[in-house]
Every structure is written in structure tokens, then in C-alpha cells.
Chains A and B, each alone.
Chain A
Amino acid sequence: MFSKTLHISTSPHIRQGMSTDMIMRHVVYAMMPLVIFAVVSFGINALLVIVTAVASSVLTEHALCRWSGKSSTVSDWSAVITGILLGLTLPPIFPLWMTFLGGVVSIAIGKFVFGGLGSNAFNPALVGRAFLQAAFPVAITTWHPSFLEGRFYSISKSVAAFPFSTPVVDGISGATPLSAFKFDKVTADTADLAFGFISGSTGETSAVLIILGGIYLAVRKMMNWRIPVAILTTVFVLSWILHIIDNQVYPSPEFMLFSGGLMLGAVFMATDMVGSPITPRGVVVYGAFIGLIVVVIRIWGGLPEGVMYAILLGNALTPHIDNLIRPRVYGTKKTKS
């Protein structure tokens, strides 16, 4: 009797059932409404940008794994997230060859050189985007109005620009609300900002969809809700104080919250688990820091938008936050930090 070989494992013999690839997959689900809205508002160009970003991220990850002799880690879905996030942060008529390059840099420099998933210091998609911003400052600030007629079939000349050629800017291009404010002091309607009837990067325009995606993940405990709450609260409070001081110079807090890449960054990028602190208190410090930098760059910096740099700086600060903020271990005195 009982002739089978016994299965031996160490305790615990049961698992909660959540897995890393499952978390990643749900993050992708949570971003799908943004992708769909991007295509609805910006048309086929946005679709091409996002698909190219995903394809280049996934291909780069696969190729690098093979090259280094490891089995491919594509199935953990993290490269897909990087690709979608990169695509969502680019202008809708961004040249595809640049997009492809951005995906390669995101994965190769943003993730692989650090040691792959879990070891990256920075959000890979933002590393790729920072590279694109430095390399192609004009293309990455060439905006495009949303809801144009014919957007579902006419491919922009800029998008289809031949590799390594300078993109041709089409006749129509539009300023984002943030740059309009920065350079012309024109603010946009808050409702338009919230629902996304404005110009901007492919996926950052609809604050409502971003928040819904965030709630989906937070309810499933796949995202630390404290991070976006800390970032948004900080931005709101600081810009509210500034707005009270001088409402001509400083924009309203609602405008600050709903414009630019803040929502997308706060909900989907700053929450990258690898680059954010591990303790609840550390996460609040990290979020407040990012919020502060966003306000500083937007108000006093030379750029209209600062979310990308704020999150990258937050990522850089994370190891120090984790080192300084440590929960008191049971049965020990308060540790001095």
C-alpha cells in the first residue's frame, strides 16, 4: 500500500494564491481602458505608438534573456506593462522608430542592466521616456489635438517617419493644457481635463479612467493606494496654498491634479512596487516627495511637466527611505534612525 513517492516541501504547505505574473496581468487589465480611450481619442496613430512600444519592450526582453543564456521572462508580463506605460506617456504622433528605440532603452538600460525584474532601481518605462526626451526634445513635445476627424484611418507622416530621419510635423498640432498654462497662462476646464477631452500624451488624458484603473488594482491589493493618495494630496495642498497666495500666477489645485501626466504617473508609475518603498510609512514619505517635486518643476522649473523626473527622483530615494524608515521589531526598543 501507498507506493507513490511522497512529495516533500517545506512549510508553509499552503499559499495565499496571488502570484507575481497574476499581479502584472491585472495591471495590464487596469490599463486597457486607457489604451482603448487613447485609440478612441487619438485614433490609429496612438494605437501604432502603443503597439510598437509593447512589441519593442517584449522583443528586447526576450532577446536579452536569450543572449544572456537565461530562459525568457516575457511570460511574467512585466515587459508588457513597461511597453504599455511607455506608449501611454508618448505624444500620439510620436515617430514609431523613436518609440521602438524607447522600448529598447526601457528594457535594456532601465531593467536588464540592473539584473532584471525586481532589481531595477527606476521605473523602466520612465527611463526609456527620459532617454527619448533627451534625444528627441522636439518630437516628444509635438502634441496633437484629440478627436480629429479621420483619426481612425489617416496615419500621420510624423508617426511613419523613416528611421533616423527628422519627423515632419503635420499641419495640425496642439498645445497641452500644461504648456498652454506655462507659456500662455491659459487654464483648461476641469471637467474636460478629468474626462480627457484635451490634448496630451496618448494615455494620460482621461483622469477618470486612470482613477478607475487604480481603484481596480487597489481593491485587489495589487497596488499600494497610499502612493497615489500621498502624491495627489501633496500636489493638491501645495498648489492650493500657492493659488491662495496669488491666483493669477499659480494655477488652481484642480488644474494641477487633473492636467498632464500626474494621474497616470501617480497611479500607474510611482506605484511600481520595485521602485517604491516597502513600508507603509516609507511609501507616504515617497509619495509626498514626488508630489513636492512635481509642483516645484511645474511652477518654477523650465519644463511644463515634471512628473517623470519627480518619479525617477522618488525611485532614487527609495533605498534611502527604506533604510531610514524601519518598523519597530516586536519586543525591541524604538530603533534610532
Chain B
Amino acid sequence: MPKNGSKGEKNSTDTVLNLQSHTFRHGVHPPENKEETNKLPVRQFPFSPLIILPMQQHIGAPSRIIVKEGQEVVRGQLLAEANGYMSVPVHAPVSGKIRKIAKVPVISGQMTEGIYIETFHYSGQEVNEGIPISLDTATPEQILKGIQDAGIVGLGGAAFPTHVKLKIPEGKVCDYLIINGIECEPYLTTDHRVMLEQAKDILIGIRYLIKATGAKQVIIGIEGNKQDAADHLSKLIPADLPVTVQVVPVKYPQGAEKMLITSLLGKEVPSGGLPIDVNAVVVNVATTAEIGRLLPHGQGIQERVITITGPGVKKKGNYLIPVGTPLRYVLEQVGAAENISEVYMGGPMMGVAVSNLDISIVKGTSGIVVFGEDNIPKTEKIFPCIKCGACVDACPISLNPSKLGILAKSEGYDTMAEEFHLMDCFECGSCSFVCPSNIPLVQYFRLSKGIIRKRNAEKTAKANV
């Protein structure tokens, strides 16, 4: 077990450790619903005749467009460059012609800057090669730059620029690199398939990541419902890599960075801190595979694996879909029911409901779950909080959601933040999931956090005047 950096245990190559007893506090067990897609290999999705690419697919500044309307582009070509450090570029997901540069709809309901590309019908869709980042000669900085240039963001759903996350701050040391193959969201099976089908890319990706972070030990964390992936990966780990595969109990939100660190290392990330404060860096397994696949060729992200499932679609499966493919096109291709009534992007616990089918697939889209009219979950009546404590027993960071919910209703935002640690909440939704009174607790907390952040920003602004 990689505890306290015991260096004697390096080179444990083909180990699959089962840590059934070692886990984070609380958590919930939603129905997994993964069996319908977890045996289906990833299939290439057809190229949509029209690609709609938003420039804001990541956390940070939107990418700056460098192409012109009417210009012909090749698949993999740079279309927009990173606008500063906290930003990543966007590459052409198809070979085609820029039809227009205009506002495009995104999932939040807003319109942002974007590019419309008409796909060339009979193009071979060969990918443009760039300048390779050599694993042997590149410096850590060059690798981080390469990751940024490839447009890589966290593919688990957060879409946080990966190069920013991998940058070890001055004075900190990265002992543990944790590869997150947990995928605790029900329905989703993309990481599962990536681990089974792209193990080679993952291992190359790990080599790049070790070089970039200086990590001494690598742990691939996998939930117990993907034992096949754990066995597969551990068989392929070469002797020279300090990598172990650890299987952890199935429990939501095991895949949350902080929870995974606690499960694997037995440490807690300090409140308001980052994983690096406990000498760890956590990277999603699909992101790792993408690094391993793209960097040797100097390419950028053009597509990603997405699970399409739910009672509202006929052809459920895991698909490799070009970024920018319109959602409406995706739904038509997979035989979505005519009467679809609810679609969300991501899993059912943290995914975002779609209000407009004209939005498109972005880098952070891990799943699309579709419900027909007959099977949308019915809206339950909201009762007052009866203080049953189910939320207290569910919260993975031991907050008191019941109390926070009551405070939110009475607008006691300062008390929520200062006395009841609201800002530590990462909105996993466990409290709302278990609440028998159907109180939309997470929604209260999202709003409250937004109000508190705004107030704090105003306070800082005032102080600076």
C-alpha cells in the first residue's frame, strides 16, 4: 500500500490491490445502470455534415479564433489558439470549410463565440500531423506546453485545462500520480471502455505525466465494478513503471478527486486546498489516454469517447464522436425516440439537463442520457425537512446539508460559509439523492455559493477602491 511514501514497494508491477476496508466516509449507492453499455466496444461515429464548435469548452478564457470564414481546414488543424495560460486551443474535428464564425448555443443556455464547419463529404478525414513531443528528450515544461497545445482538458467532465492542473507549484512535491478510472456516475462506461481498449495509450500517457510531474509512484484507481479493466491494465504494466492498480469499493462519489485520494492514500486534502497539498495529482484515465495518443504525434483533440444510453435511445453504446457534432444529429443517428423528453449531458448525479438540442458535443461531454416521454422521472412533491439525517449520512465531506438547506432558505449565506463550510461542497448531489422530502439541496447550495462568491468579489473590489 502506498502509504507515507514507503519507497521499498516500488516496481510492484502486476499488483491489483483490493482495498475494501479503506474508503472515504459516507457516500451513496445509486443504481449503476452500466450493464447495457459496458460490454460494447467503442465505435467511430459518422461525421456530421455540419460541425458547430464553441470556443469555450473548458474552464478559463475562451480560445482565440485564427481562421477566416470560407477558409478550408484539415482535420486536426489549429482553428483557435489558447488565450493565455488558463486556456487551451481548439482544433478542427473534421476536414471541411468554415461556413461562418458566429455565436453558437451552449448547454448553459447562453450563446458564445464559435465556428460552423461544413464537413467535406468524401474526405478521408486524415488527421494532420504536428510536431511530436518526444518522451525521451522533452523537458517537463515542454510536455506541459505540449498538453496545452493539444487542447487537452479534464475529460471526466470538469474540462479543467490539464496543463494547469499538472503544474506543480513552487515548493510542492508530487509523490503520487493518481490515474482516475473510477467512473462512479451511473450509466457512464466511457472510462471503462477506454481502459479496456486504449491501455497502451494510457501507459504512454502515464510516462509523459511522470516526466511532467516528477511523480514517484503511480496508482490507477478503479471501482470494483470494472474488475476486468483492472486485470487488463495490471497485466500490461511494464516492469520499469512504478504503477499499481488499486480496486476500490463501488460507492458514489468515489471518483471525486478528494474522495479518491482518501480512499487510495488515507489522506485528506485540506479544506480549500488542492491535491498537491498532500503531494498528489489526480488525472482522469481518458485524459491520460489522450495525452499518450496525441503528444507523440503533436496532434490536438478532435474527438472523444461518449456513452449514449438511457431508455430513450435504441442504439445504446460507446461512441468516438467528433467534438462539435450537433446533439440533434447524434440523437438522430442513435435512434432516439421521437418523444424524447429529457436529455442530460454527463451522468445522472452531476450531469446538466439540455434545454436546446442545437447545442453540440464538447470536450467535457462524457455521456448523453436520454429519456422518452413515458420514462422521465416524475417530479416528486417537496415536503418540509423532517431532519431525518439521511443527507448527513450521505455527505462525503460530512457537511450538514439539512442545516445548510434551512439556512439557504432564510438567506443565511454568511453562516453557511463561515460556520457550516458550504464552500467545501463540491455539489456531488448525494444529499438531494437521498432526501425523502425531495428538497433540491444541491441546487440551493449552487445558488448560495454563487451569491457568496459574488459578495466576496464585491467586498474585495470595494476594499481596492
Contacts and interface: CB of A to CB of B under 8 A. Distances in A.
Interface of A: 1-2, 4-16, 18-23, 76, 116-119, 224, 273-274, 276, 278-280, 322, 326-332
Majority DSSP secondary structure for residues of A touching B? loop
Contacts of A13: 342, 344, 348-349, 351, 353, 369, 377
Given A278-B402, A326-B400, A331 B442 contact: no
Interface in B361-389: 369, 371, 373, 376-377, 379-381, 383-389
B383 A327 contact: no
Interface residues of B, number: 76
Contact of A15 (B268, B380, B443): B380
B383 A19 contact: yes
A21 B352 CA distance: 29
Contacts of A11: 344, 346, 348-353, 427, 429, 432, 442
Interface stretch (B144-152, B167-175, B390-398): B390-398
A258 B282 CA distance: 56
A13 B371 CA distance: 11
B437 interface: yes
B48 to A, nearest CB: 14
13 contacts: A2-B338, A7-B341, A11-B353, A11-B429, A12-B429, A15-B433, A18-B436, A20-B438, A23-B436, A328-B398, A330-B25, A331-B258, A332-B271
Nearest to A13: B348
Interface of B: 24-25, 28, 30-31, 186, 258, 262, 268-273, 328, 331-332, 336, 338-344, 346, 348-357, 369, 371, 373, 376-377, 379-381, 383-390, 392-393, 396-400, 402-403, 421, 424, 427, 429, 432-438, 440, 442-443, 446
Most buried by B among A11, A76, A224, A273: A11
A330 B396 contact: yes
A99 to B, nearest CB: 26
Contacts of B442: 10-12
B337 to A, nearest CB: 9
B399 A6 contact: no
A116 B353 contact: no
A65 to B, nearest CB: 13
From A76, A322, A328, A329, name the one whose CB has the most chain B CB atoms within 10 angstroms.
A329
A10 B380 contact: no
A16 B355 contact: no
Contact of B343 (A6, A118, A327): A6
Given A4-B341, A118-B383, A273-B386, 16 more contacts: A11-B429, A11-B442, A13-B348, A14-B30, A16-B433, A16-B436, A18-B434, A20-B438, A76-B383, A278-B400, A278-B403, A327-B392, A327-B398, A328-B398, A331-B270, A331-B273
